[in-house]
Each structure stands twice: as structure tokens, then as C-alpha cells.
Amino acid sequence: MNAFRLAGDMTHLLSVVVLLLKIHTIKSCAGISLKTQELYALVFAARYLDLFIHFISLYNTVMKLVFLASSFSIVWYMRRHKIVRRTYDKDHDTFRHHFLVLPCLALALLINERFTFREVMWAFSIYLEAVAILPQLVLLQRTRNIDNLTGQYVFFLGAYRVLYILNWIYRYFTEPHFVHWISWVAGIVQTLLYADFFYYYIMSWKNNVKLELPA
Amino acid sequence: ECLTAPKDEL
């Protein structure tokens, strides 16, 4: 494992920790999109189908379990926890996320590395992850007061994508057979979606003002 | 034959 990959995984983990901190400690999910969280839970469930079939490393298994458990518990908190769910900004979280799922599934059936159940589900999870942040970005745009933890959560999530691209570039040159066109193209699309957010996040940090996205 | 790498990423 190279440094970019490890740093990418760690920022991904950090984003989850920041979100859980907000939900668990502050008992608030204000500014967090339930739609995005549900999509992530679906992404991990579809991608980690091989969890108990293919053993890669202890690190890999543990991280997969962490992402599965955290994504489903976040959805549970936002839907069921009696205090947390009251802070959910339902009126602004109106992105029709179900309409993302079907096109991703169709694309996975058409473009995959092999036409088997697991490979189609893997491609589906990659496509869905690329667009899963959209409801969250739309909600941020509609939120007048973006709190620090929410901004940091999205920032770490975006940083993870950037680091994964660097990891692929590194692996492409160091591992002769490392080719994954599907995850590369989807990963670049996913990262580009954060470009706008990054711009405003860095500007707010530089100018020391509160983060606000233009509508 | 195996052109794609194993899926060892998260």
C-alpha cells in the first residue's frame, strides 16, 4: 500500500469520525443529507459483497466493516434516534436520490469488467458512489449556516477522492497490471463534483469567514 | 489473461 492510498483511506475514515462526532456527541445532524447517507449505505452494501468470500488483508476487512457499520448506523441515527432525527433538515433535503440508483444500475449492467452478479454490483457501487454526494452538495447550497463539522465532513470526503486519484497514478506506474478504467473514470467524475465546494471551502478558510455556498 | 488488478481498494 502506498502513502496516497493510506492517506486517502485515513481522510475517508476521518470524515466518518467527524460525522459520527457531530451526530453522537452533539446529537445533531443539521446540514447533513439523509439521501446521501442512504446512498453510501447502499454503495458499501453492494461493493463489499465479497467481504466473507475474498480475504485480502486484515486491514481491508476491518476497514470494510467500519464503513458498513458506520454508514448504516448514521442512517439509523438520522431516521430513528429521537433527538437526532429532529435536527434533520428534511425540507431542504429534497434531491430525488432514487432517480440516481436506476441509471447507475443500468450503466453497471452495460459497462462492467465481467458480466457476473458480483462484478455488476461492484460497477454499480462505483457509479453510485460517484454521484452519491450530490444531495449533500445541494443541501449545503440551501443551508444558510453551514457549521464547521459539516464543512469538515465534506472536505475530508473530497480529500479522500483526490488522494485516491494520486494513488491510482502511483499504482499505474509501479504495478504493471494495475488497470481499472471503471473506477478511474467514475473517480475523476466524483472528484470534479467537489471542485466548486473546495473553492469556496478554501476561500472561507483563507479569508477566515464562515463557509457559505452561493445559491 | 488477467488484465485487471484484484479489487483490493475500499
Burial of residue A208 (CB within 10 Å: 0-12, 13-18, 19+) is exposed
CA–CA gap between residue A65 and residue A37 (Å, rounded): 16
Partner-chain contact A12 B10, CB within 8 Å: yes
pLDDT in tens, A33-74: 999 999 999 999 999 998 988 899 999 999 999 999 999 999
CB A181 within 8 A of CB B9: no
Residue A105 C-alpha cell reads as 444500475
Going A137 to A129 to A85 to A83, the CA torsion angle's sign is negative
Any domain includes A176: yes
Any domain includes A212: no
Any domain includes A215: no
Burial of residue A45 (CB within 10 Å: 0-12, 13-18, 19+) is middle
Query: Which domain does A88 fall in, by range?
Result: 1-205
pLDDT in tens, A89-129: 999 999 999 999 999 999 999 999 999 999 999 999 999 99
Query: How many structural domains does chain A have?
Result: 1
From chain B, the residues in CB contact with A63 under 8 A are 10
**Does residue B7 sit in helix, strand or coil?**
coil
From chain A, the residues in CB contact with B5 under 8 A are 171, 175, 177-180
Q: What integer is the mean pLDDT of A128-150? A: 94
Any domain includes A132: yes
Residue A93 CB: number of other CB atoms within 10 A?
21
